[in-house]
């Protein structure tokens, strides 16, 4: 276990530094540091030394304001490799399905209720077109903007 894991105990959002069974110092921390510490406690320090981390280039496509009654293809129906995030800011009275279509006609989808910023996290491998489809026939969907993360 790493040094943080050996010498820190989490208790009521405070960290007590501990050495040989004696509490040496008490200090308050911010919630973001607490989150970092919790993650640090979960991993052994040998992980970084013995593991190889492979990085992939990430693409980020941003689209702007649009409205539609039936559906719209993101980026005109272009394919996105291994899409990992689709976020859409929906206007009032707008609910959509996010559909992922591959070249064989297969598709999967997720429902995003409006209004406000909503995200879908597909766990798909391969190339997919992304369709934003109106979930409430009769209403016009108003999209303020959105983004897609994918592999380049």
- pLDDT attached to residue 56: 65
The answer on 123 and 81 residing in a single domain is: yes
The answer on 95 and 33 residing in a single domain is: no
How many angstroms separate the CA atoms of 85 and 101, rounded?
A: 15
- pTM exceeds 0.85 for this model: no
- pLDDT attached to residue 137: 85
- pLDDT attached to residue 42: 40
* The total number of structural domains that make up the chain: 2
Range of the domain at 28: 3-50
CATH assignment at residue 86: 2.60.120.380
- pLDDT tens for the chain, 152 residues: list them: 333 333 333 333 333 333 334 433 333 434 333 333 333 334 333 334 444 445 567 899 999 999 999 999 999 999 999 999 999 999 888 999 999 999 998 999 999 998 899 999 999 999 999 999 999 988 999 999 999 999 99
- pLDDT attached to residue 23: 38
The answer on 136 and 64 residing in a single domain is: yes
For 40, residues 6+ apart whose C-beta sits below 8 A from its C-beta are: 2, 4, 5
The answer on 62 and 33 residing in a single domain is: no
For 62, residues 6+ apart whose C-beta sits below 8 A from its C-beta are: 145, 146, 147
The answer on 135 and 66 residing in a single domain is: yes
* Pairing mode of beta strands 141-151, 96-101: unpaired
pLDDT tens-digit map of 5-33: 333 333 333 333 333 344 333 334 343 33
Whether residue 108 contacts residue 98, with contact meaning beta carbons closer than 8 Å, is answered with no
Enter the tokens of residue 119. Answer: 């995200």
Enter the tokens of residue 73. Answer: 């293809």
């Amino acid at each position: 276990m790493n040094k943080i894991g050996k010498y820190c105990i989490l208790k009521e959002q405070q960290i007590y530094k501990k050495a040989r069974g004696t509490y040496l110092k008490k200090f308050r921390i911010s919630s973001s540091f607490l989150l970092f510490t919790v993650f640090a406690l979960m991993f052994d320090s040998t992980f970084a030394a013995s593991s190889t981390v492979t990085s992939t280039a990430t693409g980020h496509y941003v689209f702007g304001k649009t409205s539609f009654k039936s559906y719209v293809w993101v980026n005109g129906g272009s394919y996105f490799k291994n899409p990992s995030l689709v976020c859409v800011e929906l206007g009032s009275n707008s609910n959509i399905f996010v559909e992922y279509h591959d070249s064989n006609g297969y598709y999967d989808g997720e429902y995003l209720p409006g209004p406000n910023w909503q995200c879908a996290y597909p766990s798909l491998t391969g190339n997919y077109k992304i369709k934003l489809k109106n979930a409430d026939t009769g209403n016009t969907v108003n999209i303020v903007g959105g983004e897609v993360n994918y592999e380049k």
